[in-house]
């Protein structure tokens, strides 16, 4: 960046434009970087003691309040394991999947294995501030990993990592602001968990008849799926005929069944493809997968075609939304069979699926209650997603000094 573009009160550094009073330090300058070890697994007297022993599996941008494994004093004394104080930061130097580069805070005194880098900060650095700084740089940390058969971080790489270091009071203020966002996100997750439990209770009670809505009584019938719907099976136009594939008409595969309502698909077929023996499915139809990923469902918001792993349920004598909820709780293993590539149903077994069948009025009432629960759950999820985005924006601005709190 041209220095003429640096705002007043800021300076150009190796980490970009930062406030003038901020420093750039390496982790090696502001912290002791160490790692742990693993006692010999064959020595039973080293394990199942009282000393917490943490592995990278527990590191996930979190505070670690308890260990999943414990070692004994003998295990500690006869291995490279070391005891680290509460408040130390842990970074996964290697691990399966997305583990490498993730950071956590020790909420207890604990030992660690050798895959955890332990960052014990000096007095000029605030633990939670550095935690948020490193958490925000997850992708950068993964890019710093060694190349080779398995990409790893190392103590040397971590020591050389530069961090933007505000004065201690500002570090504290930034950490507190982001901590408040984390507390809000945790409260929202708790509300989501509670609402999901409420919905599961409603599904269990209302769809079994164990819980009846006011004004409804009497015995329910049980009907088969073929008695309440006309079952249609899709097909796939020949892949060898290129003119069948391209822009034109939506064509559903199992991968498209991700939400309750769909209006687009990953693939489309042309007019020639549609004319090659395909049958169109009208808008508003409930469709369901019945091979491999059993029971994925969606309601079409426009006419579409589908492949042979998707059935359409038309000419319904049951309420469509009620049927959607009932099929969502159906144990298809009672009707299908194990195939070479997984569990599958056929049209005959689909026809035999049993549907609890209250009166049409009760079906609509049940579907309305469950739809309302879904709408509330969706609102909570949207609120949580919005807060997550807000926190990401705060981290980006606070950790670079673009937004100042002190």
Q: Would you kindly state where each structural domain of the chain is located, as residue ranges?
A: 23-165, 166-217+359-406, 221-357
What is the CB-side half-sphere exposure of residue 390 using CA atoms within 13 A? 14
Rounded distance, CA 20 to CA 326, Å? Answer: 63
Give the closest residue to 37 by CA, choosing from 105, 91, 116, 155: 116
pLDDT per residue as tens digits for the range 320-351:
999 999 999 999 989 987 665 668 899 999 99
Rounded distance, CA 170 to CA 320, Å? Answer: 57
108 close to 64: Cβ distance less than 8 angstroms: yes
Q: Is it true that 23-165 and 221-357 share their CATH fold?
A: yes
Name the 3-class secondary structure at 345: coil
Domain 221-357, classified CATH 3.90.220.20, yes or no: yes
Return left, alpha or beta for 153; rule: phi > 0 is left, psi -120 to 50 is alpha, else beta.
beta
Token code pair at residue 278: 């395909």
Token code pair at residue 269: 């077929």
pLDDT per residue as tens digits for the range 300-324:
999 999 999 999 999 999 999 999 9
pLDDT for position 1: 47
Number of H helices, E strands in the chain: 11, 25
The residues of the chain scoring below 50 in pLDDT are 1
Q: Classify domain 166-217+359-406 by CATH number.
A: 1.10.287.1120
Rounded distance, CA 187 to CA 180, Å? Answer: 11
Q: Which fold has domain 23-165?
A: Adenine-n6-DNA-methyltransferase TaqI; Chain A, domain 2 (3.90.220)
Give the closest residue to 109 by CA, choosing from 64, 74, 73: 64
Q: What are the φ and ψ backbone dihedral angles of 329, each rounded to 5 degrees?
A: -110, 15
Burial 46-84, CB ≥16 within 10 A → b, else e: bbebebbbbbbebbeebebeebebebbeebbebbebeeb
> Could you report how far apart the first and last alpha carbons of the chain are, in Å?
26
């Amino acid at each position: 960046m041209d220095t003429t573009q640096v705002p007043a009160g800021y300076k150009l550094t190796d980490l970009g434009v930062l406030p003038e009073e901020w420093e750039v330090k390496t982790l090696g300058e502001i912290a002791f970087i160490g790692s742990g070890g693993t006692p010999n697994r064959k020595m039973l007297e080293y394990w199942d003691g009282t000393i917490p022993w943490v592995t990278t599996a527990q590191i996930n941008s979190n505070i670690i309040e308890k260990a999943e494994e414990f070692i004994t004093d003998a295990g500690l004394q006869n291995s490279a394991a070391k005891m680290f104080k509460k408040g130390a930061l842990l970074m996964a130097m290697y691990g399966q999947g997305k583990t490498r580069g993730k950071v956590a805070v020790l909420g207890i005194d604990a030992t660690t294995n050798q895959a955890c880098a332990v960052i014990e900060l000096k007095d000029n650095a605030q633990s939670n501030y550095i935690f948020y700084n490193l958490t925000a740089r997850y992708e950068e940390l993964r890019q710093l990993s060694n190349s080779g058969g398995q990409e790893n971080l190392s103590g040397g790489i971590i020591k050389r990592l530069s961090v933007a270091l505000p004065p201690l009071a500002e570090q504290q203020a930034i950490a507190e602001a982001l901590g408040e966002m984390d507390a809000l996100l945790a409260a929202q997750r708790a509300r989501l968990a509670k609402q999901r439990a409420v919905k599961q209770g409603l599904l269990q009670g209302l769809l079994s008849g164990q819980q009846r809505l006011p004004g409804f009584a009497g015995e329910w019938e049980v009907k088969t799926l073929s008695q309440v719907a006309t079952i249609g099976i899709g097909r796939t136009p020949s892949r060898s005929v290129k003119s069948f594939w391209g822009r034109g008409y939506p064509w559903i595969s199992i991968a498209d069944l991700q939400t309750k309502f769909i209006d687009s698909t990953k693939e489309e077929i042309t007019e020639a493809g549609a004319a090659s023996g395909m049958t169109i499915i009208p808008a508003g139809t409930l469709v369901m997968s019945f091979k491999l990923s059993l029971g994925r469902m969606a309601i079409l918001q426009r006419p579409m075609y589908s492949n042979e792993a998707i059935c359409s349920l038309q000419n319904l004598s049951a309420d469509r939304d009620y049927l959607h909820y009932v099929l969502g709780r159906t144990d298809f293993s009672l009707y299908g069979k194990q195939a070479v590539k997984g569990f599958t149903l056929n049209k005959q077994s689909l026809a035999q699926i049993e549907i609890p069948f209250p009166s049409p009025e009760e079906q609509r009432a049940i579907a309305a209650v469950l739809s309302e629960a879904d709408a509330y759950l969706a609102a909570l999820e949207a609120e949580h997603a919005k807060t997550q985005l807000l926190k990401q924006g705060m981290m980006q601005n606070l950790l670079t000094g673009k937004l100042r709190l002190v």
